[in-house]
Amino acid sequence: MSAEATLKEKNITLPTLGKPAGNYVHWVRTGNLVFLSGKTPVGPDGTVPKGHVGKDFTWEEAYQHARLVGTWLLAALRDATGGDLDKVKRVVKVLGMVNGVPGFGDQPKVVNGCSDLFVEVLGDAGRHARSAVGMGSLPGNTTVEIEAIVEVS
C-alpha cells in the first residue's frame, strides 16, 4: 500500500507547515537526499509539552510526543517531495533528542514513537539507522526534538 493511502486508511493527519521559527528552512534537498530540520511536538491546538521526561512526563507520554514529531517530519518530507510521500525510497537516519532528567536512560523507547510511525506509514522504507540521546535541555524546554535524513526518487 502506498504511503499516501496508508495515511488515509489509518486516519493520520499531517500538520500544515508554517514559517520556520528562525533563520533556517524546513528541509534541504541535495541530490536524492532530503535533510529534515529538527521538529518538536506541537499539537493541533498549538500546545507544546514542556518539561523533563522522567519528572514531568513518563517515557510513554514522551513516546506520543515523538510520534507527534514524526507527523511534522512527514509533513516536511511531503513538502520536499512535491506532495508525494510515495517518492520516499528510504529513511536513512534519524536523530532523536530527549529532554530527560539526569540518569534517564529510556531515550530509545521515547524515540520509538517517531520510528514506529515512519514504519507504519512508509513500510520497510521507513526503517532507518538511528541515534537516541539525552539532552540537558531543548528549545522551549520541550520534551523531544527529532531530525532525519531521507532518500527520495
pLDDT at 74 over 90: yes
pLDDT in tens, 80-128: 999 999 999 999 999 999 999 999 999 999 999 999 999 999 999 999 9
Can you read off the three cell numbers belonging to residue 150?
531521507
pLDDT given for residue 122 in this prediction:
98
pLDDT given for residue 21 in this prediction:
87
CATH topology of domain 3-13+27-152: 60s Ribosomal Protein L30; Chain: A; (3.30.1330)
Domain boundaries, the chain: 3-13+27-152
Element (H, E) at 119: helix 107-122
pLDDT in tens, 6-53: 999 999 999 999 999 899 999 999 999 999 999 999 999 999 999 999
Contact (Cβ atoms closer than 8 angstroms) between residue 40 and residue 145: yes
pLDDT given for residue 102 in this prediction:
97
| Burial bucket for residue 137 (CB in 10 Å: 0-12, 13-18, 19+) | exposed
Can you read off the three cell numbers belonging to residue 61?
507520554
pTM of the model: 0.97
% of the chain beyond a pLDDT of 90: 99
pLDDT at 1 over 90: no
Can you read off the three cell numbers belonging to residue 49?
509539552
